Amino acid sequence: MPYSEDIAIPADWEGLRFYAAHDDPEPLAPDMLRLYRVPLAETPAALPASVRQQAALAAPLAGLAATPGDVTAAARARGVDLEALARAGFGPVGKYTMPETLLAVPPAALFHTRIAPDRPDDPVTATLYCLPAGAERVTIAYVGHVPPATLPAVARALCGQD
């Protein structure tokens, strides 16, 4: 299986955006989304450095998605540096509001995002980690303009690609 795969964005996901890793030299076609699949036992040089770094930082989160909702505190209790995870995903750009919340969608999806407390239904940008208990790899995707109510559908579709 390749370490990254571009697949067509489902037609009923109109308005959602998907991105390549900030340091991925391969452009992403507008009607596609990219899934990065990173074996946890190795860090393939074929993947962008940011993706390899995110996979290493996210590895302790395996199985955390079994409990739905905000699992930010549980991630920190496992020793995961969510700020470093955000910096790895966004790079040294400094113009974005960094994600601060980790939301779990059972059985395997974790969304690292920021949901504005005063606008909880506004679309969000998030990094998706598909990381079930006992995982041998993590699948990573970058999504944007996603209404929070749509996150479970995105999780079911993309984490089911493994």
pLDDT tens string 4-17: 999 999 999 989 99
Rounded distance between C-alpha atoms, residue 40 and residue 72, angstroms: 21
Rounded distance between C-alpha atoms, residue 157 and residue 134, angstroms: 20
Q: How confident is the model at residue 158 (pLDDT cuts 50, 70, 90)?
A: very high
Do residues 5 and 32 touch, judged by C-beta distance below 8 A?
Answer: no
Do residues 73 and 80 touch, judged by C-beta distance below 8 A?
Answer: no
Chain segment 100-150, per-residue pLDDT in tens: 899 999 999 999 999 888 999 999 999 999 999 898 999 999 999 999 999
Separation in Å, CA 93 to CA 29, 120, 143: 22, 25, 18
Chain segment 60-106, per-residue pLDDT in tens: 999 999 989 999 999 999 999 999 999 998 877 655 678 889 999 99
| Residue whose C-alpha is closest to residue 156's, from 128, 137, 122 | 128
